[in-house]
Amino acid sequence: MAAVGKSVGMPLGERLALIAVILLAVLWLLPLMWVTAVSLKNNTELVVNPGAVFTAPYTIQNYIDLTKTSALGTWFRNSLIVSLSHTVLVLIVSCLAGYGFARIEFPGRNAVFIFSLVGLAIPGQAIIVPLHSFFNAFDMHNTYAALIIPGIATPFGIFLMTAYFRAIPAEIEEAARLDNASRFKIFWTIALPLAVPAMATLGIFTFLGTWNDYLWPLISATRPEMYTLTVGLAATQTNIDQSEGLGYLMAQSVFAGLPMLILYIFFQKYVVRAVAGAAIR
């Protein structure tokens, strides 16, 4: 309503754009609203009449059923540990590498930088077999390490942080160097705080990607106690044809998506900036 109120006095073009944006937002929200509404419906009622989703009664029974899956807490904890650890490690590696490429002169710097970016062109699925063999050789499957380590040297992260550090004026660091500050101190106390917006962007994307990852946890974490939430929830599908139990299925989706929603609420400024490409100044 506030947006509509503010639109009074806007040029016609902007008003039309605003209406279009609102329509697109509604269009985007509809599936989410549908998923949530279905998750609050009785499963049998949905089979008899899919249109029942629009009318009461609603129930939280599907969510109660979800909590009866005894391993749910373990899977949630695994996802949290893996996602947070992976995100922290990606940030450490990307920031160090990015700062190095942006600020430190060393022989072959450009060649190494370009080589590290080649990874952007290689899809993760293409290296899944050697990756699996590698971790197998070290007997590391079904461990947190196997779930966390792959992908911590992400080409995207290195590229993003390099670009961001390069955009920070070198004069700021030169002043510190004149005061005999060490390279690491300059990195830690000057460059890193200035790079927080880019780190937030990278961190959010990394966390989202890791939380939603399915393929690698599926083949690496084969013991149920090591499942992440995506693999665990998929295993609780009770019917091969998905011919019923739609409400329960949607409750699973909502549950799995909640942390993402919470993350977005707290970090929406950075997410929006990241999507808009404003992280790289």
Partner 1 sequence: MKRLKALTMLGIVAGLLATTGAQAQTEVRFARFFGACEADFGTNLDPALPSNECGVITTLTNIFNAENPDIKVVPEIVEWGPYYEQLAGRIATGDVPDISVMHGDMLINFVNRGLIEPLDAALEEAGIDVNDIAEGPRENVTVDGQIYALPQDFVTWLWHTNSGLMAEAGLGEVNAPIYPTSADEMLAQARQFKEATGKPYLALTLDPTSAARTLYTLMLQNGTPLFPESTKVIDLHSDAAKAAITLLKDMIDEGLLVFKPDWATAFTDFSGGASGNMLGGTWQIGDLVRLSEQTGGQLDGYVAHPFPTVFGEPAVWTSSHSWVMLKGGAGSPEKRAASLKFLKFLFDHNIHWARTGHLPMRTSLMTSPEFTSMPYRLDFASVPPIAQHIPKDVLQQRIIMPFIGEELLAIFQGQKSMDDGIAAAEERVNTYLARLR
Q: Whole-angstrom Cα distance, residue 57 to residue 62?
A: 13
Q: Which is nearer to partner 1, 132 or 177 (by Cβ)?
A: 132
For residue 118, what is the DSSP state? Answer: G
Q: Whole-angstrom Cα distance, residue 15 to residue 10?
A: 6
Q: Which is nearer to partner 1, 48 or 121 (by Cβ)?
A: 48
Q: Which is nearer to partner 1, 88 or 218 (by Cβ)?
A: 218
Q: Whole-angstrom Cα distance, residue 270 to residue 281?
A: 13
- The verdict on 37 binding partner 1 (CB under 8 A) reads no
C-alpha dist (Å) from residue 63 to 200, 236, 253, 255 = 32, 13, 11, 8
Q: Which is nearer to partner 1, 133 or 180 (by Cβ)?
A: 133
- The verdict on 238 binding partner 1 (CB under 8 A) reads yes
- The verdict on 60 binding partner 1 (CB under 8 A) reads no
Q: Which is nearer to partner 1, 237 or 268 (by Cβ)?
A: 237
Is residue 91 within 8 Å of 97, Cβ to Cβ? no
- The verdict on 87 binding partner 1 (CB under 8 A) reads no
Residues 6+ apart with CB under 8 A from 101: 109, 112, 113, 158, 162, 165
Among residue numbers 146 through 185, which ones bind partner 1 (CB under 8 A)?
Answer: none
- The verdict on 234 binding partner 1 (CB under 8 A) reads yes
- The verdict on 125 binding partner 1 (CB under 8 A) reads no
Contact window for partner 1 (CB under 8 A) among 62-70, 89-97, 103-111, 197-205: 62-70
Q: Which of 16, 19, 30, 50 binds partner 1 (CB under 8 A)?
A: 50
Least Å distance, CB 71 to partner 1, is 8
Q: Whole-angstrom Cα distance, residue 276 to residue 58?
A: 38
For residue 225, what is the DSSP state? Answer: G
- For residue 50, say if its preceding peptide bond is cis, omega within 30 degrees of 0: no
Q: Which is nearer to partner 1, 65 or 267 (by Cβ)?
A: 65
C-alpha dist (Å) from residue 277 to 153, 200, 234, 273 = 22, 13, 34, 6
- The verdict on 48 binding partner 1 (CB under 8 A) reads yes
Least Å distance, CB 274 to partner 1, is 31
Residue 228, token pair as written in the block? 């992440």
Q: Which is nearer to partner 1, 131 or 186 (by Cβ)?
A: 131
Q: Which of 236, 259, 260, 267 binds partner 1 (CB under 8 A)?
A: 236
Q: Which of 110, 125, 133, 180 binds partner 1 (CB under 8 A)?
A: 133
Phi first, then psi, for residue 151 (nearest 5°) are 90, 5
- How buried is residue 229: exposed, middle or buried, by Cβ count under 10 Å (0-12/13-18/19+)? buried
Q: Which is nearer to partner 1, 205 or 248 (by Cβ)?
A: 248
The residues of the shown chain that bind partner 1, judged by CB under 8 A, are: 44, 46-50, 64-66, 68-70, 132-133, 136, 141-142, 218-220, 222-224, 231, 234-244, 246
